Amino acid sequence: MLRIFNFTFYKILLSLTLFIISFFLPSYLKIISLVLSYIIISYEIYIEAYSNLKKKELFDENFLMIIATLGAFIIKSYEEAVMVMFLFEVGEYLADLAISKSKKSLLNLLNLKKDTITRINNGKEEVIPLKEAQIKDIFIVKPGERIALDGKVVEGNSFIDTSSLTGETTPKRVAENDFVLSGSINETSLLKIEATTTSQTSTAARIMKLLEEVDETKSKTETLLTKFSKIYTPVIVSLALIIGLVFSVITHDYNTWIYRALVFLVTACPCALVISIPLAYFCGIGTASRKGIIIKGSKELDNLNAISYLFLDKTGTLTKGNFQVTKVKTKDLSKQELLEYAASAEKNSIHPIAVAIKNYNKEKTFSIKNFTEISGEGISCTIKNKSILVGNKKLMESRKIKVEDINEVGTIIYVAIDNKYEGYIIISDEIKKSALHIAELKNYFKDIIILSGDKKESVKSVAEKLQITTYYGELLPEDKLNYLKKYQKKAPCMFVGDGINDALVMKASTVSVSMGIKGSDASIETSDIVLMNDDLRTLQVALNIAKNTKKKVIQNIIFSLSVKFIVLLLAFLGISTIWMAVFADVGVTFLVIINVLFLFIKNY
């Protein structure tokens, strides 16, 4: 659970309580209550200003607020002094909460590590905390369970889902002496594994550690504000000194010009800016989170506005990564007869392709004899005293059976009966429903490009169905990186992927997006944005949120500076009063906060 009620929250609450109580106290107690409220809310700002002073970084927003609020105390505007510091701290608190919220949501999303492990001790199973497991311990993993530690299989054979680590959608068969990684999911049969890592050194643990070290980077606008304040602050302080000292000496009217100088300082306090900008990004990140989009920080949200090229991985991103029968072609048999023979031959196999054929066959299956599963090739068995072969081209060639060359998208499964070729079945991946809307994003980018390690024919088929004209297939991770760099020389690029093989290109892109469900742990760690439900339609939502957030930031900057410069001019001319200064600072602050909060209620 996100810690909203932290030390800063209670500090703000205590300061606000003393501020409110002060209105019901006699004058001397009122001043004491306001001073205490001011000290509680502002002492950290004084500490930070002092720290910056030691680094010879005097002129920042902290310094200006200290001078302005002390000036407010001098002219006995105690409430104004407290309110300026109070609003600044609220803004800082909300900004910190935004980053904490996005990080917390991401960590909850991953849930890589198990808390316990089932260890074999003297022939008996015992469930122990994962942190107690040691290298060389033997532990079991049941079907459906996530593998807790990296290790070597010592007993059993099964298929494991490694898509979260490798981006490979086809489950990997493992047997004795094969190594497995933590974070993979055991799919079919019980495995006994000898641990080769501990809970601190496993693959899952390393990824979690990286996630916890996500940088809390500021957006370009926030960084620009800090740079602006380094120029703005000394200029304002110098002008206030000129107004308060020089003109006092010239006119000998010390009270009037010192008052004008203090009004000038209070007016100039950049409270509205330092609050509204982080708050806008907070609201943008919060709104995105409610829509199932985790954005790691304000910099990443801001960068969405600059993207010109969208790059997409195929398997697991545009497609589901689930196999299904898409075509059945026969010679002398009917399609149903071919399916019945194939499904019967495959019924003892747990391979995902076999499962796809069995699920597709709606009719009967036959009893089989002499079942043999030939690794990497297919199935050999006897049905109704007929020799049946079901497998790939390599299996047919090994038995010297001539088959036709098929240039179609998908995995080709050939069927032969009594050494005679009878037809083939095509197993293909399925395009996500949300991917069918990807063409709607064309107005947001100069071009949309698919980068995939799959066969060019398969990539072309998907691209045509999604109305994408630029695509590249049969790419290694470094090939993807080279393509992205080529485009990134022209303009900022975004990459959307799901596997560890995408981590390299994700790290190099201006904005990287990963899938929250199918996405690998490494790709989620590397990415700037996570689509929690794997719905590509939420990408358009993220782009709209980023656009509106930027719009609110610009509106608030223009409005805040315009009001301040007008009131500053009036302060110099002696027209504005301390109450106008309050409006220019506190009033404007509330108005920009209200403007930002519209981000939450806008329909995306």
Return the active site residues: 313
Q: Which two structure tokens, joined as six digits, stand for 89? A: 């701290």
The H-or-E segment that residue 496 falls in is strand 493-497
Strand residues in 433-492 grouped as ranges (E): 447-451, 470-472
CB neighbourhood size of 191 (10 A) = 26
Cα–Cα dist 257/250, whole Å:
10
Q: What is the dihedral of CA 8, 9, 12, 17, to 10 degrees?
A: -140
Q: Which residues of 133-145 are buried (b: 16+ CB within 10 A; e: fewer)?
A: beeebebbbeeeb
Cα–Cα dist 566/558, whole Å:
12
Instruction: Work out whether strand 470-472 and strand 447-451 pair parallel, antiparallel, or are unpaired.
Output: parallel
Comparing CA positions, the residue from 268, 266, 256, 265 lying closest to residue 573 is: 256
Residue type, 112: L
Show the DSSP H helices in 325-402 as ranges: 335-346, 352-360, 393-398
CB 294 within 8 A of CB 101: no
The H-or-E segment that residue 462 falls in is helix 456-465
What residues pair up with 389 in beta bridges, in sequence order?
Answer: 380, 416
Q: Residue 31's Cα: distance from chain center in Å?
A: 48
Q: Residue 402's Cα: distance from chain center in Å?
A: 50
CB 422 within 8 A of CB 415: yes
CB neighbourhood size of 162 (10 A) = 23
Q: Which two structure tokens, joined as six digits, stand for 472? A: 């590249």
Cα–Cα dist 414/420, whole Å:
11
Show the DSSP H helices in 213-334 as ranges: 220-241, 247-251, 254-268, 271-290, 298-303
- Strand order through the sheet with 158-161: 172-174, 158-161, 185-186
Cα–Cα dist 194/213, whole Å:
30
Q: Residue 238 contacts by C-beta under 8 Å, 6 or more apart in sequence?
A: none
Looking up tokens 């299904």, which residue turns up? 324
Q: Is 217 helix (H, G, I), strand (E, B) or coil?
A: coil
What's 292's DSSP letter?
Answer: T
